[in-house]
A and B are shown apart, each in its own frame.
Chain A
Amino acid sequence: DIQMTQSPSSLSASVGDRVTITCQASRDISNYLNWYQQKPGKAPKLLISYASNLETGVPSRFSGSGSGTDFTLTITSLQPEDIATYYCQHYDNLPMYTFGQGTKLEIK
């Protein structure tokens, strides 16, 4: 099974900061990596698919990059409404959908 490891597990940043969250796969997954945002008490929301494809309606301050085993979600200027837990997710042909353990983002 492929393991997805996110870091950090939690993060505190100030409004306007640049924030970076990483996700590492246990083996090469090409660009089959998606990112979700989950606000407290809500369902996850798809932000980015195929590592870097921003979903319609997602603010442009969000971006994704990476390929192979190492991936990054970046928020260029943190806003108060970005407070959430962020998850990466991979699909393999077992089939199996695997989520990272999540990164909880808080405002400093």
Chain B
Amino acid sequence: QVQLQESGPGLVKPSQTLSLTCTVSGGSISSGIYYWSWIRQPAGKGLEWIGRLFTSGSTNYNPSLKRRVTMSVDSSRNQFSLKLSSVTAADTAVYYCARGDYGEYYFDYWGQGTLVTVSS
């Protein structure tokens, strides 16, 4: 059974960079038939896709966040990561990592989510 677990600081100061890691267990992140995404949800609001990463290193980002987002993979640790720069209070949200099946258009496994608050 695949499991995903987010980790990282729960508090980030405005203008700084938010950094999160997702650790995948129960399967190899490098299997090649999956892609890996970050999705966020402000309190009481809906879901916003941030971006996706293939283990080849190829990435796609939400156009609204593209200039601030970087995603990368560490296959040796079975992890992938998110960096979001120049954060503001509007970036306060629960951040989820999720898995997608290559060739499919949905997310079948999700992490439990981690709350990141942007505040001084």
Contact = CB atoms under 8 A, between A and B. Distances in A.
B106 A44 contact: no
A83 interface: no
A64 interface: no
Contact of A98 (B49, B104, B111, B112): B49
Contacts of B47: 44, 87, 89, 99, 102
Contacts of A55: 108
A31 to B, nearest CB: 10
A87 B98 CA distance: 16
Interface in B66-112: 96, 98, 104-108, 110-112
B46 A100 contact: yes
B108 to A, nearest CB: 5
A32 B106 CA distance: 9
Given A87-B47, A98-B49, A99-B47, A43 B96 contact: yes
Contact of B60 (A49, A95, A99, A102): A95
Nearest to B35: A95
A45 B107 CA distance: 9
Contacts of B49: 96-99
Contact of A46 (B96, B106, B113): B106
A46 B108 contact: yes
Contacts of B46: 87, 99-102
A94 B49 CA distance: 13
Nearest to A47: B106
A32 B105 CA distance: 7
Contacts of B107: 44, 46
Nearest to A32: B105
Nearest to A49: B106
Interface of A: 32, 34, 42-46, 49, 55, 87, 89-91, 94-102
The 6 closest A-B pairs by CB, nearest first: A91-B105, A43-B110, A97-B49, A34-B106, A99-B47, A101-B46
